[in-house]
């Protein structure tokens, strides 16, 4: 099915699973007004959908009584929101100063070579999307990368190989 950020006519409406619906209720109860829950609700939807499609934007806008333009603005501002379909796993290589001084370029090039993709691309089997990140606040253990929600620190090429082996197995 074709999906677009703007929401194509052929995109099915988005709905949370019953379990995530409970989480959404808990999130909304933590904020004085529901509009303030835009970012956490988008995260919850992305967790389920893999990316923020047009249908997700419409769902969040309707649920929080915001305009779709407002929600889309939030999505395009924060780089952690995926604006296109992505792989099952997300690999973020930090390229900011501490990591750069300790070899992040070599880590990144090795990832590109091993995965057969450039930054921003997803492997053909849909398993891994490779990205770069600005400082992830783990400078003391540079070079580092984030894989999904986990940090991998003091990277060496051997460690990177082990991590990528696990992801692409």
Using only C-alpha atoms, the chain has a radius of gyration, in whole angstroms, of 18
> What is the binding site for ligand FES (CB under 6 A)?
94, 96-99, 135-139, 142, 144
CB nearer ligand FES, residue 94 or residue 164: 94
CB nearer ligand FES, residue 104 or residue 129: 104
- Strand 145-147 and strand 89-94: the pairing is antiparallel
CB nearer ligand FES, residue 123 or residue 146: 146
Question: Residue 117 corresponds to which tokens in the numbers above?
Answer: 């993709």
Under a CB-based contact definition with an 8 Å cutoff, are residues 90 and 147 in contact? yes
Q: How far is the CB of 100 from ligand FES (least distance, A)?
A: 7
Conformation bin of residue 79: beta by default, left when phi > 0, alpha when psi is -120 to 50:
alpha
CB nearer ligand FES, residue 137 or residue 157: 137
- Specify the length of the chain in residues: 169
Under a CB-based contact definition with an 8 Å cutoff, are residues 56 and 46 in contact? yes
Q: How far is the CB of 14 from ligand FES (least distance, A)?
A: 33
CB nearer ligand FES, residue 99 or residue 160: 99
Q: How far is the CB of 66 from ligand FES (least distance, A)?
A: 33
DSSP designation for 35 = G
- CA distances, 13 to each of 16, 90, 107, 118 (Å): 10, 25, 40, 32
Q: How far is the CB of 160 from ligand FES (least distance, A)?
A: 15
- HSE on the CB side for 141, CA within 13 Å? 11
Q: How far is the CB of 159 from ligand FES (least distance, A)?
A: 15
């Amino acid at each position: 099915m074709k999906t677009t950020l703007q929401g194509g006519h052929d995109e099915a409406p988005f709905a949370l699973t019953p379990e995530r619906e409970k989480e959404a209720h808990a999130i909304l109860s933590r904020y004085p007004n529901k509009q303030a829950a835009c970012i956490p609700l988008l995260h919850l939807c992305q967790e389920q959908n893999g990316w923020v499609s047009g249908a997700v934007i419409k769902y969040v806008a309707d649920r929080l009584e915001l305009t779709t333009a407002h929600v889309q603005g939030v999505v395009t501002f924060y780089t952690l929101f995926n604006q296109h379909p992505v792989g099952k796993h997300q690999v973020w290589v930090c390229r900011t100063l501490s990591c750069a001084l300790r070899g992040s370029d070599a880590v990144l090039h090795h990832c590109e070579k091993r995965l057969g993709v450039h930054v921003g691309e997803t492997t053909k089997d849909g398993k891994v999307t490779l990205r770069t990140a600005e400082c992830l606040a783990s400078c003391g253990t540079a070079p580092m990368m984030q894989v999904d929600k986990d940090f991998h620190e003091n990277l060496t090429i051997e460690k990177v190989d082990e991590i990528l082996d696990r992801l692409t197995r």
